[in-house]
Amino acid sequence: MKTKLLTVVIMLCASFWIGACNMNDVDEGISLECGGENSVDDLSWLNQKLEDIKDHPESGIILYRYNAREIVEVQSSLMSSTNNSQYYCDGTKVNLENPEVYQDFLKNRVELKILYGIDLWKL
């Protein structure tokens, strides 16, 4: 009886381990609309945003997923507001002027990757 129980426990652990490995493989294979290897160079509007902030060491460009869409956030210590620097991949500004919408964005966004610099506003 102990042998059967031990076998079942080992099989369950192995199943969870294999399942976890597969989930990580899926995460690494996510296709990013605007977060490719050279997205800052490939997207002209984003390259211009980089030009605006690159001389300031406390700056960054962060890619998030929010409401099933990718959003690029440009961060710089020169900015006076944190809710006016989010863009969709095509360069269209995201409207986060409503405080409730902005708070929902902050709460429910998922960081996908840092495209440039540091995550200044996370510090």
Q: What pLDDT shows up at residue 42?
A: 78
Q: What pLDDT shows up at residue 1?
A: 59
In angstroms, the CA 10 to CA 26 distance is 25
- Furthest CA-CA distance within the chain: 70
Q: Which amino acid, residue 100?
A: E
Q: What pLDDT shows up at residue 35?
A: 65
Element (H, E) at 100: helix 99-108
Q: Which amino acid, residue 9?
A: V
Lookup: tokens for 18: 């294999």
Q: What pLDDT shows up at residue 18?
A: 35
Q: Per-10-residue mean pLDDT for the chain, 123 residues long? A: 49 38 37 70 88 90 95 90 92 95 96 91 69
Q: What pLDDT shows up at residue 85?
A: 94
